[in-house]
């Protein structure tokens, strides 16, 4: 049979996880390949990029969409488990699960809120469709990065901060930055790092791996710590978000405080290649009018 699309895979995938156990992506691919009676040729068929098989890619996206709807939980990288909601869905015995079915869940609608629907995509130019797909994959990658950080030890978060700041040009050498960031907390300060490679100025760091919103009191505490150091610059990094009051406070003080929330942190990690790797690169080309102008 033909390789099923990722929506056709959703319901069988959920049934495979119905035992309540943790399942790896590789195991899901193997179990579903048997379910769909795929041939060796179909299993080996690659995406145009040549970096991944078509079927494993579609299983991965089916897993992602089910997780965004709360039917699966990502327990660790490339592993998942069915949730109570997923079990309830199976008990209702739906004839199929697809994107339209998942839109009944608020979390999934939130995930899809920035996407254009089918009619809009048809009316888009090819460049817009490519940009839409790129942004969707980038958003999904950003969420995966945050999930991975939150599931890792606190020391790992410190290493992420070090690596990111060094990639961005701060801290001098990686070794110098590693000694500065992650230092024992001192009155609301987690570390200090050189602003430039010559060490002409320093920036104080506060890094919190939180799930709850960071409010104004935490920022005020950080500013107070800067005052004690006679410093004017600081970076406050969190895996969660900042309250509007905290953001407003920072914009109305003389101190230069940069707030980096979880979303911005993940975006910077992607931009500076921290914790990510390039799977493939597509080059979009056009006719060189100057070349043909010489005719």
Say whether 147 sits in a helix, a strand or coil.
Answer: helix
Q: What is the pLDDT of residues 112-170, one digit of tens each?
A: 875 544 444 445 556 667 777 888 889 889 989 998 898 888 888 888 888 898 888 88
Q: Is the pLDDT of residue 182 over 70?
A: no
Q: Go through 185-215 and write b for each residue having 16 or more CB atoms within 10 A of its CB, e for each that does not.
A: eeebbbbbbbeeeeeeebbbbbbbbeeeebe
Q: Does domain 154-271 correspond to CATH entry 3.40.50.2300?
A: no
The C-alpha R_g of the chain, in whole angstroms, comes to 23
Alpha carbons 214 and 218: distance in angstroms, whole number? 7
Delimit the domains of the chain by residue range: 6-113, 154-271
For the chain, how many residues are written? 295
- What local confidence, expressed as pLDDT, does residue 119 receive? 42
Give the pTM: 0.66
Nearby residues of 37 by Cβ (< 8 Å), 6 or more positions away: 1
Assign a CATH topology to domain 6-113.
Answer: Arc Repressor Mutant, subunit A (1.10.10)
Residue written as token pair 């048809």: 122
Look at residue 32 in the predicted model and tell me its pLDDT.
Answer: 97
Per-residue model confidence (pLDDT) at position 128: 61
Contacts by residues 141-148 (CB-CB < 8 Å, ≥ 24 positions apart): 141/266, 141/270, 141/276, 142/263, 142/266, 142/267, 142/270, 143/266, 144/74, 144/77, 145/266, 145/269, 145/270, 145/275, 145/276, 146/239, 146/262, 146/265, 146/266, 147/74, 148/77, 148/275
pLDDT bracket for residue 79 (50, 70, 90): very high
Average pLDDT in the chain: 85
pLDDT, position 127: 64
Identify the helix (H) or strand (E) that includes residue 82. strand 79-82
DSSP 194-259: ESSTT-SSEEEEEEE--SSPB-HHHHHHHHHHHHHTT--EEEEEESS-B-HHHHHHHHTSSSEEEE
Confidence band, pLDDT 50/70/90 cuts, at residue 31: very high
Buried b (16+ CB within 10 A) or exposed e, 87-110: eebbeeeeeebebebbeebeebee
Quick one: angle between helices 6-16 and 84-91, nearest 10? 100
């Amino acid at each position: 049979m033909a390789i099923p699309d990722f929506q056709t895979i959703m319901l069988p995938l959920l049934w495979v996880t119905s035992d309540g156990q943790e399942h790896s992506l590789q195991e899901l691919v193997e179990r579903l390949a048997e379910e769909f009676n795929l041939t060796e040729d179909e299993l080996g068929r690659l995406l145009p990029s040549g970096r991944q098989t078509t079927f494993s890619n579609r299983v991965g996206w089916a897993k992602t969409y089910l997780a965004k709807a709360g039917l699966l939980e990502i327990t660790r990288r490339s592993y998942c488990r069915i949730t109570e909601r997923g079990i309830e869905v199976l008990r209702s015995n739906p004839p199929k699960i697809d994107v339209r079915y998942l839109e009944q869940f608020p979390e999934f609608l939130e995930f899809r809120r920035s996407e254009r629907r089918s009619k809009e995509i048809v009316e888009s130019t090819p460049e817009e469709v490519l940009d839409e797909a790129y942004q969707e994959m980038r958003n999904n990658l950003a969420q995966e990065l945050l999930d991975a950080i939150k599931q890792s030890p606190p020391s790992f978060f410190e290493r992420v901060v070090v690596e990111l700041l060094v990639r961005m040009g701060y801290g001098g050498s990686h070794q110098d930055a590693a000694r500065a960031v992650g230092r024992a907390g001192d009155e609301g300060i987690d570390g200090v790092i050189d602003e430039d490679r010559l060490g002409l100025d320093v920036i104080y760091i506060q890094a919190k791996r939180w799930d709850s919103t960071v409010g104004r009191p935490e920022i005020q505490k950080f500013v107070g710590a800067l005052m004690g150091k006679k410093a004017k610059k600081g970076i406050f990094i969190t895996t969660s978000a900042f309250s509007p009051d905290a953001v407003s406070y920072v914009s109305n003080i003389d101190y230069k405080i940069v707030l980096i929330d979880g979303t911005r942190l993940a975006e910077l990690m992607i931009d500076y290649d921290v914790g990510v790797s390039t799977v493939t690169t597509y080059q979009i080309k056009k006719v060189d009018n100057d070349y043909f102008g010489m005719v």
